[in-house]
Structure 1
């Protein structure tokens, strides 16, 4: 196996290759030109390849040098990106929160500005990666999930209880709400989340209440259902929390005459006791307070 050259040699090579000059590379790296020449010689000895050829007062890469330059540039970019991420994680106001996308989009996102006003200096890192279920004080500070994680040394509380509502865009809902339920199918098609057709709780609603509707579209992503309904393509059964912002501002309106169905229970989790920073505790308490206010509405 070839020995990997030192970062010092690779940085000298990359700078000289990029600038086409040992002298300019020396200036950029605050070294002498002889130091750069010596680094290139060492690198050529270690790789067993001639990397530069002289051209006038400058240098140009050989074919082997061009291959190495592309490799080194990719590696340095990866390294710089990693160092940038480390700098982000050192932000004392950082709190990493994992939250399912529909809940983040509909319930939490509209409240983030208020959250940051209430907690100055907070920098939330929000992830929808639901596979990141473990709170480890480094990568994940707080999670909102569909069940308790039941990991040792965690503080976990029930946060929100969702429900499913039949909704439509404001103008369509007004038309439906001023006519009888029996007439709805003649006025409006149905947008459907695929899992609802066979779901234990939602299936009966589709078979008993909505079977006469023309199906305009079926999606496997709840956010796409919401988008289609907001565009006026039909009415749909949606999560109240996922649609919270749209319902709050009046883009969507509940269609009367259909039963609301119990939805997902959401749990909030963080490390019990002392957390990585005081901001984690503050965000956790803020979420509980906002959830209580949501329930009271």
Structure 2
């Protein structure tokens, strides 16, 4: 009689191996157990289900209809388990390190620091995630979190990575053109900053008489627009840091930087590898 109780995983592995490979001998070799052990697993599974799963055809084994139905389910389940174990094995690679970071900070500040670090640690494989919902630091898939507020999670070491500020930047070509023009130019900013009760008045004070050339809801789009020379952009210094360091952007004189909060760095108090400590130390040494 059929029972709804889930049978032993070993029985299911033996069944799947015989079904996939066609006979008990090859299944036993694949599972590194004896032929009698595989046969016993099949017998126990058939007894558990109350119906035969194979019929013998010459020296091989052929699935019954019940066996075909079961294989469709068991094969998919075992493939899913193998995939999960493979992913776990990847995450436990000693040279792999996962950092969760806001997308704009990852693009504007973090990427350059990791690139220089990989010159020192060529085997380092950083996994950079901008999924800020995956903020839980553990011993498997998240090693370091960079965020705009502390996580307040037990077992973490958290510290301020650096203090950010809003700055006005533009391309050198645009700066030169504006310096020669008697008329004010155009400025661009984040939509949220323009509507903000704190940042909005700061923008209106410094850009009175200027035309607004664009507003964006993503700092990466704002950075791209600034690099294209669309206008003087007011954005995070952290986001603009690489472009400023490379000379592709320069600070616009006369705009007083406005505090923009802090970036926090969190790691486990007992990190799973010494590599994490090396990366954290490098990031801390690269702060503005």
TM-score interval w.r.t. the shorter chain? Answer: 0.7 to 0.9
Moved more, 141-150 or 155-164: 141-150
Aligned to 1:70: 72
Moved more, 22-31 or 110-119: 22-31
Q: 1:67 & 1:178 partners in 2: Cα distance?
A: 79
- What is the aligned counterpart of 1:144 among 143, 146, 153? 146
Q: 1:31 & 1:136 partners in 2: Cα distance?
A: 36
Give the match's secondary structure for 1:157: strand
The change in CA–CA distance for 1:55 and 1:117 in structure 2 (over 3 A counts) is same
Give the match's secondary structure for 1:242: helix
Residues 75-134 of structure 1, C-alpha deviation per residue, up to 9 Å, x if partnerless?
223322332344345444555543323222211211213223445765544443434555
Aligned to 2:285: 289
Q: 1:210 & 1:15 partners in 2: Cα distance?
A: 75
Contact 2:28 2:34 in 1 (8 A): yes
The change in CA–CA distance for 1:167 and 1:79 in structure 2 (over 3 A counts) is same
The change in CA–CA distance for 1:157 and 1:26 in structure 2 (over 3 A counts) is closer
Q: 1:282 & 1:228 partners in 2: Cα distance?
A: 35
Residues 141-194 of structure 1, C-alpha deviation per residue, up to 9 Å, x if partnerless?
4433323445566544332121223344565555445435x4423xxxx65433
Give the match's secondary structure for 2:284: helix
Give the match's secondary structure for 1:74: helix
Q: CA deviation at 1:198?
A: 1.7
Contact 1:177 1:255 in 2 (8 A): no
- What is the aligned counterpart of 2:191 among 194, 206, 210? 194
Q: CA deviation at 1:241?
A: 0.9
The change in CA–CA distance for 1:20 and 1:142 in structure 2 (over 3 A counts) is same
The change in CA–CA distance for 1:218 and 1:157 in structure 2 (over 3 A counts) is closer
Q: CA deviation at 1:135?
A: 4.9
Q: CA deviation at 1:33?
A: 5.6
Q: CA deviation at 1:13?
A: 2.3
Question: 1:142-291, aligned counterparts within 5 Å?
Answer: 142-150=144-152, 155-168=157-170, 171-172=173-174, 174-180=176-182, 182-185=183-186, 191-208=188-205, 209=207, 213-216=211-214, 218-219=216-217, 221-230=218-227, 236-256=233-253, 258-270=255-267, 275-291=271-287
Q: 1:17 & 1:245 partners in 2: Cα distance?
A: 57
Residues 39-90 of structure 1, C-alpha deviation per residue, up to 9 Å, x if partnerless?
3343233234554456677555455444433332332233223323443454
Q: 1:160 & 1:11 partners in 2: Cα distance?
A: 53
Aligned to 1:112: 114
- Which consecutive residues of structure 1, in runs of 5 or more, have no partner in the other structure? none
- Which consecutive residues of structure 2, in runs of 5 or more, have no partner in the other structure? none
Q: CA RMSD in A?
A: 3.8
Q: CA deviation at 1:242?
A: 1.5
The change in CA–CA distance for 1:15 and 1:213 in structure 2 (over 3 A counts) is farther
- The TM-score with structure 2 as length reference comes to 0.75
The change in CA–CA distance for 1:55 and 1:252 in structure 2 (over 3 A counts) is farther
Contact 2:149 2:263 in 1 (8 A): yes
Count of equivalent residues: 285
Contact 2:158 2:266 in 1 (8 A): yes
